[in-house]
């Protein structure tokens, strides 16, 4: 598979990793849009949110706990943060491996664009 995030999971491509467990990895976005911009990815390759299966739902529910913990780790849990998923090209998805952006560390704009 020629997936950028799968290569990061397999340590073929370096990344600054902030959290890892048996199912997830959290690392810095290479083109940050905020002072804190982390990517939360499942280790299981799922193309995008449209490809989620029923058995993936408990896995994806954990994203929210991870987001809470990472936000606290980077001191943005009280000031606020955004958890964002892009699905397909028109929404801005550029890496087709399900992932969530955790953004914070400054007042974020009211627009999502």
Domains of the chain, each with CATH number or no CATH: 4-104 (3.30.428.10)
Q: Do 75 and 39 form a contact (C-beta atoms < 8 A)? A: no
Give, as one character, the DSSP assignment of residue 109: P
pLDDT (0 to 100) of residue 112: 52
The span from the CA of 50 to the CA of 96, in Å, is: 11
Write down the catalytic residue from 37, 97, 99, 101. 99
Determine the average pLDDT of the residues in 55-59.
94
Q: Which residues of 47-84 are buried (b: 16+ CB within 10 A; e: fewer)?
A: ebbeeeeeeeeebeeebeebbeebbeebebeeeebbbe
pLDDT at 55 over 90: yes
Say what the pLDDT of residue 109 is: 84
Query: What is the spatial distance between Cα 113 and Cα 109, in angstroms, rounded to a whole number?
Result: 9
What's the pTM value of the predicted model, to 2 decimals?
0.93
Active site residue 97: no
């Amino acid at each position: 598979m020629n997936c950028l995030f799968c290569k990061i999971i397999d340590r073929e491509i370096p990344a600054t990793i902030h959290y890892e467990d048996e199912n997830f990895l959290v690392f810095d976005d290479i083109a940050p849009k905020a002072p804190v911009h982390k990517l939360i990815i499942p280790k299981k390759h799922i193309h995008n949110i449209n490809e989620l299966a029923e058995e993936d739902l408990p896995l994806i529910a954990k994203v929210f706990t991870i987001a809470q913990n990472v936000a606290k780790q980077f001191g943005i849990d009280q000031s606020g943060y955004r958890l964002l998923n892009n699905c397909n090209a028109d929404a801005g998805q550029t890496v087709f491996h399900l992932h969530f952006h955790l953004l914070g560390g400054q007042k974020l704009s009211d627009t999502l664009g």
